[in-house]
Copies of this chain bind each other. A is one copy, B any other.
Amino acid sequence: MTYSKTDLLALKDFYANQLMNNTVPFWFPRSFDKECGGFLLMRDADGSLIDDDKAVWIQGRAVWTLSTLYNTVEKKQEWLDGAKLGYDFLNKHCFDTDGQMFFHVTRDGRPIRKRRYFFSETFYVIAAAAYAKASGDEEAAYKARLVFGKCIEYATTPGLLQPKFTNTRPSKGIGVPMIMMNTAQQLRETIGDPRCDEWIEKWIAEIEKDFVKDDIKCVMEQVTPDGSIIDHIDGRTLNPGHAIEGAWFILHEAKHRNNDKRLIDLGCRMIDYMWERGWDKEHGGILYFRDVYNKPVQEYWQDMKMWWPHNEVIIATLLAYLMTGNEKYATMHKQVHEYAYKHFHDTEHGEWFGYLHRDGTLAQPAKGNLYKGPFHLPRQEWYCWQILENSLKTR
């Protein structure tokens, strides 16, 4: 199948409408915590609060979402004020004395948990960078660049962060080069930074060389430092939605480089490989984990359908279609879009449920918790809207 211009126009309107009239209003303004700062995001299906704790990843991501809407959609004061509420909370409460960030804090910002990796920091960078652009706040720009530098240091200095595993079986995950690439892209597109291009190229090269396995048509989630497959349960575990998220970051980079053919080809291969492994041919939807050799996966929720892989695959397939015109990506996009909006979208209270069983029935109804908040879904609706709008201009 293909998408006609009319289809694309309808899709653009659909995403814009969902974002502005359904997803964003579910979260804001009600989640602004005017008393303690930051956002109250842990919410049940109907929006009622189930916990007033604050997940640092999600606080940062919400600042990014609000700032990005302000920067690209409409100069709405409520969004800028909201972003500032979150940005100030992050600065005031979410850094430990050693400069590392916490993972989970109380409503009033007292630390509950710190983790042994630096994704709170990467989401701080995109938050501060987007907020700096929105507000013109020079200090926010300075801080975004400072913490980006720290992330590079964490990513490239073995042993700087306390390890979770011993050195017996060294491994590295695709998460670091992938998220760092996206962090650098966001930094470049908001306030700019001279380090971004070079590092993005390095991270893409690492993904291509060490994680993408053309011989077995697979993108690994974890490998040895030199890119070999680790033939143990954890090492064999694939995360198709995550790999496809990485694929669209690479396609996004290809676009930035005037449709660089090598990167388009790399991103599309990653989508092809992981769609084949991740799409559930029996029930539809993207399976959470797979084993590279189809052995049993250990993580209990391995065959559940979660919201965010669907957001990422919707973006990736639409972007691949718009960049290549290859009809197979329109087919994939239509499949995943229809599955996702049918099964995840809550037609009663808005936004999406997060957690379905393999067969598509609801496992639990929370809209927000320590891991879910206003990020993957609004980012997907916003990004798809933007690329459709740009693409339609030239059609």
The residues of A with any CB-CB pair to B shorter than 8 Å are 42, 44-45, 50-51, 53, 106, 110-114, 164-166, 168-169, 232-233, 295-298, 300-304, 306, 355, 357-359, 363-366, 369-371
Given contacts A106-B169, A112-B165, A306-B300, contact A233 B363 (CB under 8 A): no
Partner of A301, one of B111, B114, B301: B301
Cβ A164 vs Cβ B301 within 8 A: no
Cβ B298 vs Cβ A233 within 8 A: no
Q: How many copies does the complex hold?
A: 2
CB contacts (< 8 Å) of A169 on chain B: these are 106, 112
Given contacts A106-B169, A112-B168, A165-B112, contact A304 B295 (CB under 8 A): no
Shortest CB distance A111–B (Å): 5
CB contacts (< 8 Å) of A297 on chain B: these are 364
Partner of A365, one of B296, B365, B366: B296
Cβ A304 vs Cβ B300 within 8 A: yes
Shortest CB distance A117–B (Å): 14
CB contacts (< 8 Å) of A50 on chain B: these are 233, 295-296
Shortest CB distance A56–B (Å): 13
Cβ B301 vs Cβ A370 within 8 A: no
Cβ B233 vs Cβ A51 within 8 A: yes
Cβ B369 vs Cβ A233 within 8 A: yes
Partner of A114, one of B166, B232, B363, B364: B166
Shortest CB distance A342–B (Å): 20
Shortest CB distance A211–B (Å): 21
Partner of A300, one of B45, B298, B355, B359: B355
Q: Which of the listed residues A295, A297, A358 has the most CB atoms from chain B within 10 Å of its own CB? A: A295
- Measured CB to CB, the nearest residue on chain B to A50 is B295
Partner of A110, one of B168, B298, B366: B168
- Measured CB to CB, the nearest residue on chain B to A303 is B363
Cβ A357 vs Cβ B358 within 8 A: yes
CB contacts (< 8 Å) of A44 on chain B: these are 295-296
Q: Which of the listed residues A169, A301, A364 has the most CB atoms from chain B within 10 Å of its own CB? A: A364
CB contacts (< 8 Å) of A304 on chain B: these are 300-301
CB contacts (< 8 Å) of A364 on chain B: these are 296-297, 302-303
Cβ B166 vs Cβ A366 within 8 A: no
28 contacts between A and B (CB under 8 A): A44-B296, A50-B233, A50-B296, A53-B232, A106-B168, A110-B168, A111-B166, A111-B168, A112-B165, A112-B166, A112-B168, A112-B169, A113-B166, A233-B370, A296-B365, A296-B366, A297-B364, A298-B369, A300-B304, A300-B306, A300-B363, A301-B301, A302-B363, A302-B364, A303-B363, A303-B364, A357-B359, A358-B363
Cβ A51 vs Cβ B232 within 8 A: yes
Cβ A165 vs Cβ B370 within 8 A: no
- Measured CB to CB, the nearest residue on chain B to A300 is B301
- Extra A-B contacts (18), CB below 8 Å, given A42-B233, A44-B296, A357-B358: A50-B296, A51-B232, A51-B233, A53-B233, A111-B166, A112-B165, A113-B164, A113-B166, A114-B166, A233-B369, A296-B366, A297-B364, A300-B301, A300-B306, A300-B355, A302-B363, A302-B364, A357-B359
Shortest CB distance A352–B (Å): 14
CB contacts (< 8 Å) of A110 on chain B: these are 166, 168
The distance in angstroms between the C-alpha atoms of A137 and B112, with both chains bound, is 46
- Which 9 A-B pairs rank lowest in CB-CB distance, beginning with the nearest? A300-B301, A296-B366, A110-B168, A296-B364, A111-B166, A51-B233, A298-B369, A301-B301, A50-B295
